[in-house]
Amino acid sequence: MEVVTTSSKYQVIIQKEVRKQFNLKLGQKIMFIPYNGTLRVVMIPPIKKARGMLKGVDIENLQEEADEER
């Protein structure tokens, strides 16, 4: 487990071993999600890789809240 320190601009450096392990690329998007007093780091896949992620999901019964109020 790697420990990093925030810079004066609140930036952090992801260690080389971690970048290799998770195949992080320059310019890749990541998101910090607060969870029970911690920060979770989630890699955002490129849109091309996201294609088909929801294939087979039944959307027939999904409605917006506004639709339910009508």
* Predicted confidence (pLDDT) per residue in 11-56, tens digit: 999 999 999 999 998 999 999 999 999 999 998 877 777 777 777 8
Residue 4 located in a structural domain:
no
Residue 64 located in a structural domain:
yes
Residue 20 located in a structural domain:
no
Task: Kindly report the number of other CB atoms within 10 A of residue 15's CB atom.
Answer: 12
pTM for this entry: 0.57
Residue 2 located in a structural domain:
no
Confidence of residue 66 (pLDDT cuts 50, 70, 90): low
Residue 61 located in a structural domain:
yes
Its domain, for residue 62, covers: 26-69
Predicted pLDDT of residue 33: 94
Task: Kindly report the number of other CB atoms within 10 A of residue 19's CB atom.
Answer: 14
Token pair listed for 9: 């601009």
Task: Work out how many domains the chain is built from and give that number.
Answer: 1
Residue 11 located in a structural domain:
no
> Is the pLDDT assigned to residue 70 strictly greater than 90?
no
Higher pLDDT, 47 or 8: 8
